[in-house]
């Protein structure tokens, strides 16, 4: 309800609510503080699985792909498997990064990512990652990308990727897209 271009109206709504609340202002401020708290280390879970800190890297204008990263911890006794990632882009794939003998990094789509029992699997820069494809607008730092992770056993887990600044690890340029 507060998404996208409605951001400023969203803010006005908050001010009105504070006025209506009157003496309850302290509680309102606390609520706003919680909503505005940095989401570093945010987690999502389902059953034996915990999804740690999904984030996407901000893209430059005109870029048509963006990368997403996360970790999955499987506290259960049986292996699970990340089968797909769903998000509001024309295509979302999971890619592995492979470096050939000449030192050239290439990305190849992978059908699934195994999460062994008792293990944590990290999708991280320079390794396996989520690829958001067909972007029509940049991923902007501070934004979020709602997505659904589809696991073989745990089923669908709704998450939000935080969009973070491009880091020293670099972007996806020159990697075969
Ligand atoms: Cu990729």
Alpha carbon of 74 to ligand 1 centroid (Å): 24
Percent of the chain with pLDDT over 70: 71
Alpha carbon of 45 to ligand 1 centroid (Å): 25
Output the pLDDT for position 40.
55
Q: Is residue 121 within 8 Å of 156, Cβ to Cβ?
A: no
Output the pLDDT for position 137.
96
Question: Would you identify the CATH topology of the domain 43-164?
Answer: Immunoglobulin-like (2.60.40)
Backbone angles phi, psi at 127, to 5 degrees: -130, -145
Q: Per residue in 53-64, pLDDT tens?
A: 999 999 999 999
Residue spans of the domains in the chain: they are: 4-36, 43-164
Q: Per residue in 22-34, pLDDT tens?
A: 444 444 444 443 4
Q: Residue 174 pLDDT > 80, yes or no?
A: no
Alpha carbon of 17 to ligand 1 centroid (Å): 44
Alpha carbon of 66 to ligand 1 centroid (Å): 8
Residues β-bridged to residue 80: 115
* pTM of model > 0.75: no
Q: What is the mean pLDDT of the chain?
A: 80
Confidence of residue 159 (pLDDT cuts 50, 70, 90): very high
DSSP state of 79: -
Higher pLDDT, 51 or 17: 51
Alpha carbon of 26 to ligand 1 centroid (Å): 46
Strand (E) positions, the chain?
Answer: 43-46, 49-57, 65-74, 80-87, 91-99, 105-110, 113-115, 120-123, 129-133, 144-151, 155-164
């Amino acid at each position: 309800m507060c998404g996208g271009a409605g951001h400023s109206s969203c803010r006005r709504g908050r001010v009105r609510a504070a006025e209506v609340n009157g003496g309850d202002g302290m509680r309102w401020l606390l609520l706003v503080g919680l909503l505005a708290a940095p989401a570093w280390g945010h987690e999502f879970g389902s059953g034996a699985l915990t999804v740690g800190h999904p984030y996407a890297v901000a893209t430059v204008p005109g870029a048509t792909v963006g990368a997403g990263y996360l970790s999955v911890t499987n506290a259960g006794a049986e292996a699970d498997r990340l089968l797909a990632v769903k998000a509001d882009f024309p295509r979302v794939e999971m890619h592995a990064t492979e470096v050939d003998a000449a030192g050239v990094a290439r990305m190849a789509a992978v059908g699934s990512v195994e999460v062994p029992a008792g293990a944590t699997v990290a999708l991280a820069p320079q390794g396996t990652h989520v690829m958001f494809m067909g972007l029509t607008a940049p991923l902007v730092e501070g934004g979020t990308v709602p997505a659904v992770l589809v696991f073989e056993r745990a089923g669908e887990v709704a998450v939000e990727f935080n969009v973070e600044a491009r880091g020293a690890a670099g972007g996806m340029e020159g990697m075969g897209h």
